[in-house]
Chains A and B, each alone.
Chain A
Amino acid sequence: MVEDKGICVGEDWTDAGAKDPDTEADEAAMFGMMGLVGWDFTQPGQTVPGMRKLLTHIWNTYPTNPELASEWAIYQNYKN
């Protein structure tokens, strides 16, 4: 097997050393959601009860969350 090094090349696949603004925004939203359910990771030894509930919540809200409606519409276009 010869590794194909010709596909993941270029600017998109070169470490930047900094997060994209979109990444910052997505992660802020994620931490915001965790804060809403009472998770705090500023100190070690925290527990995370209800992980299934949180992960399920994230996925379940995708097609129904009004704030994500425009993103969802893009995927609907693939279905149709």
Chain B
Amino acid sequence: MTEELRKDIGGPSYHPNAAVVDGYVIKVKGRPSNQRCLIYFHGGAALAGTAEEHNYYCWRMAVDFDATIINVNYRLAPEHKVPCGIDDGYASVKWAIAKASELGIDPNRIATIGESGGGYIVGGVSMRLGERNEGGLIKFGFHLIPMVTNAILLKPDSELDEMGHMMKAMSKEIYEALGDYSALEAKNFNDKWTFTMCLDDDLCKKCPPAVVLTGEFDDCLIGAKETAEIYRRNNNLLVYGSQRGSHHGHYFNPKHCRTDAWQKAVTEICKKYL
């Protein structure tokens, strides 16, 4: 495996609100150039985590998918509010296309992939591409267990169980960090750059196709279902799956009983459509 730290990813040359960020280009040694490429956005609610911490999962993706992985350190909240992370993600896609020859990737076989907060970035990047009529630049956006919904914030406390209270408390902290919470509340939490399942049909049609995978007991299940439904009704959903009996991020645990089946499906999707 080769793991190259790049400090020149994206930036304002590719989007005026983007910053030049760092990240890792991960390849399996000895593979030919012109490889398929996945641009990865790590989880952490868009306010925590680093690319480096997630390199271990990228190693697995590189091997399983026979692909180059670009693991991007997009900017995080609260220092960088919505949509900074999304714009860094968009710029990283454009950067990868511009640098395809140098990176040894096929510019026509690029997709985005991200989990949880990174799934939110995937949704936002798809919208940026869509609004610029660039949805065809990537093969698909892979929304893994995406953290994208406003549903928990709209639900009364009286209807919540212990897990619901936890999710509402966490959501409040997350969205106070990502943006102006009072302004979001005044708009009934329907800002599409914060809650990407709020995108409208016209924009959805112009986005790259979506792949959405979640778990039956994923804390973010509602948002995944909402995202899949929007893309489905606009004839832009490639695959949807909800894995039996599983929870948020279960597949990072290689000993979880569903991890192999999860990885098999993700790999089949990437090899078939990228």
Contact = CB atoms under 8 A, between A and B. Distances in A.
Interface stretch (B7-15, B33-41, B50-58): B50-58
Given A7-B269, A20-B258, A75 B56 contact: yes
Interface string B246-261: 1100100111111001
Interface residues of B, number: 61
A66 interface: no
B253 A22 contact: yes
B139 to A, nearest CB: 12
Contacts of A42: 162, 165
Interface string A46-62: 11110110111001101
Best-surrounded residue of A39, A43, A56 (most CB of chain B within 10 A): A56
Contacts of A5: 239
A58 to B, nearest CB: 9
Contacts of A70: 255
A1 B244 contact: no
Contacts of B246: 19-20, 23
Interface in B147-190: 157, 160, 162-163, 165-166, 168-170, 172-174, 177
Contact of A7 (B157, B173, B268): B268
Contacts of B3: 79
B239 A48 contact: no
Contact of A43 (B47, B165, B235, B245): B165
Nearest to A75: B56
Contacts of B213: 8
Contact of B163 (A41, A59, A71): A41
A75 B209 contact: no
A2 B168 CA distance: 36
A59 B44 contact: yes
Contacts of B200: none
A65 interface: no
A18 to B, nearest CB: 6
Interface in A12-69: 12-16, 18-23, 26-27, 34, 39, 41-49, 51-52, 54-56, 59-60, 62-63
Best-surrounded residue of B48, B172, B250 (most CB of chain A within 10 A): B48
Contact of B240 (A8, A41, A52): A8
A59 B253 contact: no
Contacts of B238: 1, 3-4
Top 10 nearest A-B pairs by Cβ distance? A8-B241, A20-B245, A55-B48, A41-B166, A12-B261, A44-B157, A78-B59, A75-B56, A59-B53, A52-B48
13 contacts: A8-B242, A12-B243, A12-B258, A13-B241, A19-B217, A19-B247, A20-B246, A27-B247, A41-B166, A45-B165, A52-B44, A59-B48, A79-B56
Interface of A: 1, 3-5, 7-8, 11-16, 18-23, 26-27, 34, 39, 41-49, 51-52, 54-56, 59-60, 62-63, 70-72, 74-76, 78-80
Interface of B: 1, 3, 44-45, 47-50, 53-54, 56-57, 59-60, 62-63, 157, 160, 162-163, 165-166, 168-170, 172-174, 177, 209, 213, 216-217, 232, 235-247, 250, 253-258, 261-262, 265, 268-269, 272-273
